């Protein structure tokens, strides 16, 4: 991945042995590596070769972070709605962090309980970028969008049942948000949200 | 309509002359009549025969209300999100009113501007039933559902563009609401919402 | 759950140990607890700690009901179409009951055999709220809606095959009901239906 | 149309002059002609040439029926739900009639008012084939299917709004009917329903 | 099932023991029983109690046929497109047969190999009703519809992959058939097709 | 258009004056020009400047063909199902022709009347490429695919009503064709079909 | 709009008189005003009152820009695929510009002609944010995403026909982009894209 | 399969024993056999009987190729986007090869990394037919279509997650391609693409 400040390996569909081999090979020349959607077995295989690899159990992300440099004074804030949305939220902040962003997160704030989110208003308003992860009706990005002056990246999750249609309801809700500062990524795409948030947070024209 | 306390005529697709004829005929034996989705021309035709008919211009509802009796101490509160949702909201409260409910409404409260809805919290919490009318992402019922102890009837509207798919996004959002006190009616069905709200508000077992 | 008169735990996706721990913790300060979608194993774990917990085998609901007070003279009647709809129907009445409603149910009444439902007409008409649970074409709420003066909450189920599309056919049928007293909740959402029915049945403005 | 006992012209998208020309040409060699979906103008053009042509105003069907022979003792009964469904219902019985069937119809029987349909039970049960035309939730064929021993042909109509999606809700409802004697044709396809009903009603193996 | 000439048990979702118990109970008073979608184990359980029960292995239908009377001189012909469509085709003819119809079947005739179907033209044209079972593009009913003077009941199957969307492509194709003698049942609904075919084949007004 | 042997202008959404100006400009340096979806007015404007421009009235295509060289001995055969499919069929053969293909067409052959297509079998089998244009159920390409040894390009059209969903039924049918020699282009895309057919027909590796 | 640096009026559905009145009222206290989707008539009405209002004819945007301050050294680059996408592209850059961003645009670069986009590579790589506007298959954002180190905001447009389904194909394509720096807004939502781009481009934590 | 130059067996859903039996039987009279989607076990069973059978592990294709004659000087080039697309790509070239085509392939070229595909430009431009296999947004065929003068057959794959909806996003993207030389086959249909490519590549009118 040319654009990032870390090499990324998509772990899904690869065996622990394959992941360990790729990780070892990359880690030789690249100080920072992110492996997404790995299993505990894959992590064991990686750690046998790279002792400082860290496992993020909710999302299955493995990070090797040796030379992460903070590229900005700003913070990427990750907000998630329900307990089941945490894996996607974790993938988002792990990604933003290894790409050089200072990160923060607020979990379990739903639109049916506004007091939780209102009590965090100050933290929300000081973020440079906000990632909002939500399933079901996907209403949280609109509410957060109205509370913050920053860009909001909305991540629909496949959490829900019946007429949630695997995340479609949340996706459509986010695309139709009445808050104009909201953009959207694919269902369950925590990695993409964290990646873009880090790019936004860098605060300079990266191509220069 | 056997169940209601007013006779209802669906005005859509009928000519002014047809509407006036039906209204005159019904008004002879029924003190309360509701005509939905009528045009100004239809209203003129009705008023030529029934001088106390009232026209509700946003929704196109015509009411003849001679013997409306309040059936309960409770209030049906109608909340709507955007200016374009007002026609549906008006249809809802006109229906609830002619069926004997005390009504109230709060317009133009969107989820991207929570201060508006939070400042009305007291009015919200004292309602017996709340009707929430919203298009786009359809997030308002979830937010309202979290603020009130009453049942919430959500009405998706066809307001929006692109991926709103004629109200589908709002409909799915409402069906997936994380507030458990929310039920849903068809897109733009202000009449149905007002009708059920009035039934709930009656506060007794009507069949007895 | 702020609004209810019982604490609710969503059992789905939690281990028996987790459910037992949460249930014990809640039961210390709350006399009434409802756990939805639990397994037999989860129930065994709960009962080991709370001997008066009851298991409802069709729906997987566990209830601890120590201080349920009837809040109204009215009855919540749950009607279901086919044998496969019973789990959702049971979740609905268990929920309404623990929230303080007197409940009743009529099972196995389909629209293709009207004599069954017509023979129950009296029970239907004396209910304060009716919940109708149906899969396949979802026609039962319209038929029931025409027979009762009360509000009807329709619950589509994912029962069916082929063009039922996991409950979508039933959902659309219910949203397009020609009976104006019908509102709809998400596919298989027996809990939501029971919850709203209990709110309607309370018969007063709860916020007061 | 090789199979039928009348020649059929699909009028939609043809000019009055084209329709009149085709009709004249066919009428020279064929005693029975059916033209579907014609306008009043098209009818005037046809009648100028064929004085015994009959116009069916609801459906826009034009018939020239000079030698229609009843092919069976059985009756094709057409039932429709709402006033807006009548054009499709009329197209169905006009088609069945010109193909040699004795026909009957019952209009304005909805599932929300069962007394209407129950009061016609005898007429229903004596039909050889029943066509049921309905929009909105499309529940009527299931109810009728349970009342009659005959095959039921269900015709969904595009009547409805919002989540009716142009007749899709009714179509899905009918395909998922719990009455096993129901088959379905395309949305608004009154002609197809009438055609098949007449084939069923003939009561013999036509190929022999 | 009031309408049929055999009692029907839907086997899906029932245990072998349940099926055997129900079958025994019904067989005591009813000479003809059809059990659909049963497993080999269920059949063993049934046969242990009812020695003359027959198992149809492709469809999983079990029949107990002691007093099947042919109700008509006509034949129900079942045509299927591919090998994978045979289970649904078998369910169709087993159903029609136990309800008193003489049946015939032609398997493995696809629209990409017209010679097969054209060589069976005579058998096709002598049928009183034709059932056509097909997955993928669902084109066979249109082709057959053009070859026979009889009513055609089209059964889409869930056979296919990718853009077949579980039978949706075949279903839509059949609903849009250019042959006017085609009606459609739900995806994989061989039972429904066989049931209606038998009703059509009876050749009299059954209510009389 | 780099690849073709004619310059192409998409006429849709352009005024007659704009089309005439672009056509004049291109015709100065390019001997062969194709303008798609033009109106009669646009043609008049073009002919005022380019007297040898030809108008194809069914499709609205305008061609200026001064140096069309036949690039192959093979023929592109265009087959269409119904009268309403002719505009798309014409767009296909006009495109193939101006790109240097010998073309042929067979109109009005539907799958419900196989004799028509079977009587053209020889012409079909001698084509180098076959384009099949069909709406409704889109079954014709499968039937043709089984009759010819050549590649078949299927063009679904938006012709139909109800569950044809603007050509979606035909599109899905063609994508699921059981004939392995069928590929598909977008709904109503006669131009694309003609373009690819001409590329196939050239019979050599064009890049060489 | 609390977040922006200009007041925004959504012109769609408002009369020229209404727009002029709102614009005058806002312009009294706010130096920068953006009116979206206005007609020429609306612009005339506005200019009669506010002589320095500017009309952007492709998008129908009206701007009153008296005190726009550049908030960053970075540039927002707007890229669009086809001529028909220009209205949405213009809405995007007009919005970004009035919110204080330096803007640039590259029109008419499609993925079928890579030379165009490759020749602009330097301009692309120096942008702080890139907005990509495209209809049809929506492939351009992925290609651009691979060429630039900046965040890319993808705007699907409703341009296309047949299986584009009003922009759905482009929307899905963009959500599934293989470039990880892409986020998406609603179909035709040029305003939203420009708004977020300006927020990203500000380069500081705005809440501070 | 009458059209091909090899006999084809669809392996999916057949047991190893069945596949081995069919293969042996066919191989007696046909020198070239292709078995698609077979397992390793099926291959072992086939090789026990036919020692020169070859297994293609990515796609599961088994080939027996004894008399494959190259039918043309042209090349079928198969291009695929991601590692997960290789099984479908392999099925495509194995099919084209056994039908007599010279084949070539280029794997792992995505639209987000244009340098890879641009560096293969010469190989691309010398192909007689190009097959492009891609999941996710399905943009690769459009990019390739713009680079080559040959016909392009696009194969969407079911690779992706969330809003890829099992390959639907890629399918729609390909159908809406802005490159006019692109046609499309069903999701994951590598066999169909290879089959048609070989027909195109034969370079003569096969029926002659």
Q: How far apart are CA A36 and CA D172, in angstroms?
A: 41
pLDDT value at A205 more than 80: no
Show the tokens assigned to E128. 């009183």
C-beta atoms surrounding G76 within 10 Å: 30
Span D36-46, mean pLDDT? Answer: 97
Question: Are A136 and B175 inside 8 Å of each other by CB?
Answer: no
Residue of G nearest to H156 (CA): G173
- C-alpha angle D63-D66-D68 in degrees, rounded to nearest 5: 85
Residue with tokens 């990019």: H143
Show the tokens assigned to F50. 């380019």
**8 A C-beta contact, residue D12 and residue D22:** no
Confidence class for position A49, pLDDT limits 50, 70, 90: very high
Which of the two residues, A144 and C69, has the higher pLDDT score? A144
Residue D96: strand, helix, or coil: helix
pLDDT at A208: 43
pLDDT value at F207 more than 80: no
CA distance D115 to chain F (A): 31
Question: Are F163 and E175 inside 8 Å of each other by CB?
Answer: yes
pLDDT at D2: 42
List all residues 6 or more positions away from E122 whose beta carbon is below 8 Å from its beta carbon. none
Span A139-163, mean pLDDT? Answer: 95
Residue E130: strand, helix, or coil: strand
Residue of C nearest to B4 (CA): C149
pLDDT at D204: 60
Left if phi > 0, otherwise alpha if psi is -120 to 50, otherwise beta: which for E60?
Answer: left
Question: Are A171 and H162 inside 8 Å of each other by CB?
Answer: yes
Confidence class for position F6, pLDDT limits 50, 70, 90: confident
Supply the mean pLDDT for chain D.
92
Question: Are G180 and A171 inside 8 Å of each other by CB?
Answer: no
pLDDT at B71: 79
Longest CA pairwise span in chain F (Å) = 49
Left if phi > 0, otherwise alpha if psi is -120 to 50, otherwise beta: which for F152?
Answer: beta
pLDDT at E204: 61
CA distances in angstroms from B36 to B7, B23, B90, listed in the order given? 11, 11, 11
pLDDT at F199: 94
Confidence class for position H207, pLDDT limits 50, 70, 90: very low
Q: Extract the residue ranges of chain G whose pLDDT is less than 70.
A: 1-4, 203-208
CA distance H148 to chain G (A): 10
Count Cα neighbours of H190 within 13 Å in the Cβ-side half-sphere. 30
pLDDT value at C19 more than 50: yes
Supply the mean pLDDT for chain B.
92
CA distances in angstroms from G171 to G78, G91, G177, G185, listed in the order given? 18, 18, 10, 8
Question: Are E176 and D186 inside 8 Å of each other by CB?
Answer: yes
Q: How far apart are CA F128 and CA F140, in angstroms?
A: 18
Confidence class for position A72, pLDDT limits 50, 70, 90: confident
Partners of D103 in beta bridges: D76
DSSP state of G166: G
Which of the two residues, C110 and A57, has the higher pLDDT score? A57
pLDDT value at E14 more than 70: yes
Supply the mean pLDDT for chain A.
92
**8 A C-beta contact, residue C71 and residue C32:** no
| Strand C54-56, strand C61-65: pairing | antiparallel
Q: Taking CB atoms and an 8 Å cutoff, what residues of chain E touch H158? A: 162
Partners of F43 in beta bridges: none
Span D69-90, mean pLDDT? Answer: 92
Q: Which tens digits make up the pLDDT trace of E107-151?
A: 999 898 899 999 999 999 999 999 999 999 899 999 999 999 999
Q: How far apart are CA B196 and CA B201, in angstroms?
A: 8
- Strands of F75-167, DSSP E: 75-80, 102-106, 129-134, 152-156
Residue of G nearest to B161 (CA): G187
Show the tokens assigned to B147. 């603020």
Q: How far apart are CA B89 and CA B136, in angstroms?
A: 15
Closest alpha carbon to F101 in F170, F153, F142, F47:
F153
pLDDT at H63: 97
pLDDT value at C208 more than 90: no
Span F81-101, mean pLDDT? Answer: 95
Q: How far apart are CA H123 and CA H141, in angstroms?
A: 16
Return the percentage of chain D with pLDDT > 90, whole number: 83
Residue A38: strand, helix, or coil: coil
pLDDT value at E74 more than 70: yes
pLDDT value at C206 more than 50: no
CA distance G88 to chain A (A): 15
H and C: touch, per 3+ CB pairs < 8 A? no
Question: Are F84 and D188 inside 8 Å of each other by CB?
Answer: no
C-alpha radius of gyration, chain E, whole number: 17
Q: How far apart are CA F138 and CA A35, in angstroms?
A: 46
Interface of D to E at Cβ within 8 Å reads 1-4, 8, 73-75, 125-128, 148-151, 153, 171, 175-176, 180-186, 191-193, 195-196, 199-200, 203-208
- Give φ, ψ of D74 to 5 degrees: -80, 165
Span B35-45, mean pLDDT? Answer: 97
pLDDT at H112: 87
Confidence class for position D69, pLDDT limits 50, 70, 90: confident
Q: Taking CB atoms and an 8 Å cutoff, what residues of chain G touch B162? A: 156, 158, 166-167, 171, 186-189
Residue with tokens 């509802």: B61
pLDDT at H2: 42
Span E18-33, mean pLDDT? Answer: 94
**8 A C-beta contact, residue F185 and residue F154:** yes
Span H129-146, mean pLDDT? Answer: 95
Confidence class for position H3, pLDDT limits 50, 70, 90: very low
CA distance G163 to chain F (A): 6
Question: Are H175 and F153 inside 8 Å of each other by CB?
Answer: no
Instruction: List the helix and strand counts (H, then E) for chain C.
Output: 8, 9
DSSP string spanning chain C? Answer: -TTSSSEEEE-TT--HHHHHHHHHHHHHH-SEEEEES--HHHHHHHHHH-TT-EEETTTTEEEEESS-----S-EEEEEESSGGGHHHHHHHHHHHHHTT-EEEEE----TT-HHHHHTTHHHHHT-SEEEEEE-TT--HHHHHHHH-SS-EEEEE-S---GGGGGGHHHHHHHHT-SSTTEEE--TT-HHHHHHHHHHHHT-S-TT-
pLDDT value at F106 more than 90: yes
List all residues 6 or more positions away from E205 whose beta carbon is below 8 Å from its beta carbon. D73, D74, D75, D126, D127, D128, D150
| Strand D152-156, strand D182-184: pairing | parallel
List all residues 6 or more positions away from B115 whose beta carbon is below 8 Å from its beta carbon. none
Span H160-180, mean pLDDT? Answer: 94
pLDDT at F157: 97
pLDDT value at A206 more than 50: no
Subunits with 3+ Cβ pairs within 8 Å of D are: B, C, E, F
pLDDT value at C2 more than 80: no
Q: Of A36-40, C35-39, C134-138, D109-113, which range is least confident?
A: D109-113
pLDDT value at B202 more than 80: yes
Question: Are D203 and E207 inside 8 Å of each other by CB?
Answer: no
pLDDT at B206: 47
C-beta atoms surrounding D177 within 10 Å: 32
Confidence class for position C98, pLDDT limits 50, 70, 90: very high
Span E159-173, mean pLDDT? Answer: 94
pLDDT at F204: 60
Q: How far apart are CA A91 and CA A61, in angstroms?
A: 7
Span E35-44, mean pLDDT? Answer: 97
Q: Which tens digits make up the pLDDT trace of B100-139?
A: 999 999 999 989 889 999 999 999 999 999 999 999 989 9
Span C159-165, mean pLDDT? Answer: 91
DSSP string spanning chain G? Answer: -TTSSSEEEE-TT--HHHHHHHHHHHHHH-SEEEEES--HHHHHHHHHH-TT-EEETTTTEEEEESS-----S-EEEEEESSGGGHHHHHHHHHHHHHTT-EEEEE----TT-HHHHHTTHHHHHT-SEEEEEE-TT--HHHHHHHH-SS-EEEEE-S---GGGGGGHHHHHHHHT-SSTTEEE--TT-HHHHHHHHHHHHT-S-TT-
C-alpha radius of gyration, chain H, whole number: 17
If you count residue pairs, one on A and one on G, with CB atoms under 8 Å apart, how many are there?
Answer: 110
Confidence class for position H204, pLDDT limits 50, 70, 90: low
Q: How far apart are CA H140 and CA H159, in angstroms?
A: 14
Q: How far apart are CA F208 and CA G2, in angstroms?
A: 61
Interface of H to G at Cβ within 8 Å reads 81-82, 110-114, 118, 136-139, 142-143, 145-147, 160, 162-165, 168-170, 172-179
Residue to substitute from B187, B190, B192, B193, interface D, most D β-carbons within 10 A: B187
ipTM reported for the complex, 2 dp: 0.94
**8 A C-beta contact, residue E96 and residue E68:** no
If you count residue pairs, one on A and one on H, with CB atoms under 8 Å apart, how many are there?
Answer: 20
Partners of H77 in beta bridges: H104, H130
pLDDT at E3: 46
Whole-prediction pTM value? 0.95
Partners of H8 in beta bridges: H34
Question: Are B162 and G13 inside 8 Å of each other by CB?
Answer: no
- Give φ, ψ of D95 to 5 degrees: -65, -50
Q: How far apart are CA D81 and CA D139, in angstroms?
A: 9
Residue of F nearest to H3 (CA): F149
């Amino acid at each position: 991945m040319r654009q990032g400040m870390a090499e990324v390996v998509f772990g899904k569909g690869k065996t622990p042995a394959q992941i360990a081999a790729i990780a070892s090979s990359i880690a030789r020349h690249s100080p920072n590596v992110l492996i997404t959607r790995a299993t505990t077995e894959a992590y064991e295989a990686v750690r046998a070769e790279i002792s400082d690899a860290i496992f993020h159990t909710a999302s299955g992300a493995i990070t090797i972070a040796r030379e992460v440099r903070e590229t900005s004074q700003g913070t990427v804030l990750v907000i998630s709605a329900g307990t089941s949305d945490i894996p996607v939220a974790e993938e988002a902040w792990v990604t933003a962090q290894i790409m050089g962003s200072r990160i923060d997160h607020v979990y379990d704030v739903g639109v049916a309980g506004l007091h939780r989110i209102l009590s965090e208003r100050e933290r929300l308003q000081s973020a440079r970028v906000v990632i909002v992860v939500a399933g079901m009706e996907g209403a949280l990005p609109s509410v957060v969008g109205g509370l913050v002056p920053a860009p909001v990246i909305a991540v629909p999750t496949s959490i829900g049942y019946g007429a949630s249609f695997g995340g479609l309801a949340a996706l459509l809700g986010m695309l139709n948000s009445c808050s104009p500062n909201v953009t959207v990524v694919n269902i369950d795409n925590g990695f993409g949200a964290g990646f873009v948030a880090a790019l936004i947070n860098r605060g300079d024209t990266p191509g220069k």
